[in-house]
Amino acid sequence: MATPMFRFDPMTLPPEAEALRGEVRAFIADHADAMSFSRSGFDRDFSRAMGRKGWIGMTWPKQYGGQERSALERYVLIEEMLAAGAPLSAHYISDRQSGPNILRFGTEEQKRHFLPRIVAGELTFCIGMSEPNSGSDLAGTRTRAVKVDGGYRINGTKLWTSNAHRSDYAILFCKMAQPGEEEVDRHGGATQFLLDLKSPGIEIRPVIDLLGEHHFNEIFLTDVFVPDWLLLGKEGNGWNQVTSELAFERSAPDRFLALFQMLREMVRLAGPDPDRATAAALGKLVAQLATLRSMSLSIAGMLQEGLQPNTESAVVKDLGTRYEQDIPVVARQLFPTEPELEAVETYVSMIARSTMSAPRLSIQGGTREILRGIIARGLGLR
């Protein structure tokens, strides 16, 4: 029999993960005022409180402040926090991808400097990948680094950088400048840096989104000096490193749990005795959620085994996005209302917010077309 191109083995949560669930729910109840139906809740105090519980970087080695707990325990923590609408933004990127990338590719000095601060909820990272004219086509990045005495001189522009205005560092993806040479290998020269966002030569300008909120930014880098010790991994190995970072980004349960509170609100509105059509529509959403959760848990299990489930992550992100974009559509059909962003009534404002933020879901972290290309390659179709 041919080897399957991707797999989703059933995964059962171990008792310690279920025990943690109770602890997380108690913590959430104690911080009820901090919960909201907004994806961008940024609250350093909440992150510090999570840090004190040992819930940031919880799978990392103890020598860097981690708890050496399993990916399945982390899964339970994240799903409970997302379902409750916890404000995770001040540490989420650092916990999900920047920290793991430093752990994997960083020097001992970088691990000792950055990881304990992330674990304490004191250090916010953002993702410096996309640029004007190179979002999907990351290999087309134009930001260039030149080796100079004691470090690198970097010039370029980054775009759509979530939370850059509130972050301490970015993991910057760029290329080494090769003056006078034609680019032969599109992935060649790609390099990552740990960029201190307070460095001279950096200007961060807001980009206001559809909701009228400041979440995105444009970052201009003019002759920014980055010292040698902040090179992440090796010069020229950036493509390999960024691919690994994207696998962390795409496999998380936030790809289908961001609108969980809205689903719960719809179940509440339907009441204990809904008509058949309402029950069928809600039943379908709940069944899809259960399926996505099983698939995502299976990925957490593979990460625990040290595997790289890139194709599986792309499948979950694509299906999860479609599911989330369906939620406001089904809601409007079942419980029609005039959406109003500022409304006090939860459902009315939820429907406005989710409808206006739905388009971003299939763009962030890789567009639908790009993910399907990855899946096709995983299946051996291209």
Ligand X SMILES: Cc1cc2nc3c(=O)[nH]c(=O)nc-3n(C[C@H](O)[C@H](O)[C@H](O)COP(=O)(O)OP(=O)(O)OC[C@H]3O[C@@H](n4cnc5c(N)ncnc54)[C@H](O)[C@@H]3O)c2cc1C
Site for ligand X, rule CB under 6 A: 126-130, 135-137, 160-162, 360, 363-364, 366-367, 369-370
Q: Residue 57 or residue 128: which is nearer to ligand X going by CB?
A: 128
On whether the CB atoms of residues 73 and 58 are closer than 8 A, the answer is yes
CB of 209 vs ligand X, minimal distance in Å? 7
CB of 20 vs ligand X, minimal distance in Å? 29
CB of 33 vs ligand X, minimal distance in Å? 26
Strands 169-176 and 144-148: parallel
**Cα(100)–Cα(245) distance, integer angstroms:** 8
**Cα(62)–Cα(154) distance, integer angstroms:** 34
Q: Residue 73 or residue 254: which is nearer to ligand X going by CB?
A: 254
CB of 163 vs ligand X, minimal distance in Å? 7
Give me the sign of the Cα torsion angle 241, 54, 16, 80: negative
CB of 353 vs ligand X, minimal distance in Å? 13
Q: Residue 71 or residue 164: which is nearer to ligand X going by CB?
A: 164
Q: Residue 253 or residue 366: which is nearer to ligand X going by CB?
A: 366
Report helix, strand or coil for 126: strand
Tokens matching residue 40: 């961008």
CB of 217 vs ligand X, minimal distance in Å? 9
Q: Residue 119 or residue 127: which is nearer to ligand X going by CB?
A: 127
CA-wise closest residue to 85 among 346, 356, 348, 366: 346
CB of 356 vs ligand X, minimal distance in Å? 12
Q: Residue 204 or residue 363: which is nearer to ligand X going by CB?
A: 363
CA 339 from chain center: how many Å?
Answer: 28
On whether the CB atoms of residues 336 and 278 are closer than 8 A, the answer is no
* Chain length of the chain: 382
Cα separation of the two ends of the chain? 21
Strands 144-148 and 151-159: antiparallel
Tokens matching residue 316: 């979950």
Position of tokens 């139906």?
37
Q: Residue 127 or residue 266: which is nearer to ligand X going by CB?
A: 127
Measured from each CB, the residue nearest to ligand X is 135
